[in-house]
Structure formats: C-alpha cells, structure tokens
Amino acid sequence: MGLAKRKLGKTGLEVSCLGFGTVKIGRNQEVKYPSGFSLPSDEEVSALIDQAKELGINFIDTAPAYGSSEQRLGRLLKDRQDWIICSKVGEEFTAGKSYYDFSAKHTQRSIERSLRDIGTDYLDIVLIHSDGQDCKILESSDCAETLLRLKAEGLIKAVGMSTKTVEGGMKAVEMLDLVMVTYNPSMQDDAIVIDHALALDKGILVKKALNSGHDCIAGDAVESSVGANFTERNLRFALDKEGVTSVIVGTINPKHLQENVEAVQ
C-alpha cells in the first residue's frame, strides 16, 4: 500500500501526506530537539532519500536556515522531477545564530541561491520563514510581493508562509497559496487557520506534529512502544484534521522514517 498523495489547495501540486524534513541533515546547532546529534554522512543522507522515495514520499522540506541542507540536497538528490521541493526565505543561519531579512533584495537573492544550491531551475514551494511577526512581515515588507512576482516569472510554483501566530496564519491563507502551521494534540490554536484554508481551498502543511520530540518521554531516540504509539497518535491527529495536506517530519534515523510511514498508512 503506497503513501496517499493529497492536493495542495489550488496549486496543482499533489504531495505525499508525509513530507521529509531536512533540518537534521544540515544543522545541529541551536536546534530545539531534546537531545544532540551528529550530522549524517553523504552516504547516510543518500540512503535516507532513497528510502523516503521507496516508501512513497515525494515531498522534501528544506530552507537556507537549515545549515548545509540545500547544498547537500543539490549534491545528493537524483531525479529532481520526481520530487516536490519546498524551500523558504527570510531566515538566515550563520555562525551559530539566526537573523532575518524580508526585503525584496534579500528575498530575490535568497531564491537565486536556493536554485543554485539545490541545482534546479524552479522551486515547487517557497514559504516565508517567519520570525514571529507574521502580520508585520505580510503587511510591511516586500517579501510576499517579491515571491509572487517570482512565481509569475515561473521560478516558483506556489507561495506560502510558515507562521507563528493565528492572526498571521489567517492573513497568509487569504494572501498566499498555502500556509505551514503547528498542529499537534498539545498545540491546537491553529485549527481555526486550517478551517479557514479549507474554506478557501488553500493548502495546509503541518510542522511540529511530533512537537520536536518533546512530548515523548524518549525524545528522538524513540525505541519503546510508548514512542511508536505517540508517533502514530500525533501523525494521525494531524492528518485526520480536514484541510491538512501533508505533515513534515524530520528524521535522520531510517527506522523512524519507516515507522512514520507505517503510522500513517
């Protein structure tokens, strides 16, 4: 049984209901996981990508703020046309610290760099990587306008925002093609955003469905039945919510990748 694909609003894109998050292939500093980890080797990343594809995942989530993630995907991702790639703009991570720039000039440069690093001539999805001031970014910066222009030029297929506030999520649903929200049993504030997106036929991606491993006693080293039950409960919770297109889960553990797919099948 393959992994279900779902329509991403009106974008024309069909994405696997589970997406492969790539923070951990490029960055292990200043990340909000319960335990530390080493970056995987190129061989390990290649094997993970192959495994994800075999399991029916066609959706990869990356960002400039994920350290070397985009460059590694550029080196290691084969068959570009088989993948839906989501990148981001706005957040930069250098020398162990994040900073944000939502100007038109930076947005343009960021997209050009992502295209070059990933080794592609288009990005399927680009999200604004919010610093928490969602509404201010949407209302007072040129970021959304610049991305929509690049979409019109054919460099991007769909534009959205990874939001941090309910107000920002509601506004992004109205202005853009899709929104990425936090949604899990202990964080349900964005349910109203998902409902709004459903009403307007916009796409919804879910981040932190597993709450970065914090809800689970064993964190990212989930080996117990408690862990497996937790994963299944949280993934199903997100995917059973009407309006949710796909849940992004980042892992560098082949066993977890397999378990995540089994949990949603």
pLDDT (tens digit per residue) in 193-240 = 999 999 999 999 999 999 865 444 334 444 444 567 889 999 999 999
Summarize the confidence of residues 248-259 as an average pLDDT. 94
Query: Rounded to two decimals, what is the model's pTM?
Result: 0.93
Tens of pLDDT, residues 70-92:
999 999 999 999 999 999 999 99
> Is 9 domain-assigned?
no
> Is 226 domain-assigned?
yes
**66 part of the active site:** yes
> Is 154 domain-assigned?
yes
β-strands 156-162, 178-182 pairing: parallel
66, 100, 122, 183: the active-site residue = 66
The CATH number of whichever domain residue 158 belongs to comes to: 3.20.20.100
d(CA 229, CA 236): 11
Helix (H) or strand (E) holding 230: helix 225-239
Q: What is the per-residue DSSP string for 2-70?
A: PPPEEE-TTSS-EEESEEEE-HHHH--SS---SS--PPPPHHHHHHHHHHHHHTT--EEE--TTSTTHH
Q: Which residues 6+ apart lie within 8 Å of 132 measured at CB?
A: 164, 165
How many domains does the chain divide into? 1
> Is 93 domain-assigned?
yes
Query: What domain range is 40 assigned to?
Result: 15-264
> Is 4 domain-assigned?
no
> Is 255 domain-assigned?
yes
Query: What does the pLDDT read at residue 96?
Result: 87
Tens of pLDDT, residues 93-140:
998 899 999 999 999 999 999 999 999 999 999 999 999 999 999 999
Would you give the distance in Å from CA 234 to the centre of its chain?
17
Say which amino acid occupies 15.
Answer: V
Q: Is 249 helix (H, G, I), strand (E, B) or coil?
A: strand
Helix (H) or strand (E) holding 173: helix 166-175
E-strand stretches of 120-220: 123-129, 156-162, 178-182, 203-207
Q: Contact, 255 vs 221, CB < 8 A? A: no
β-strands 18-21, 178-182 pairing: unpaired
Query: What does the pLDDT read at residue 16?
Result: 98
β-strands 5-7, 14-16 pairing: antiparallel
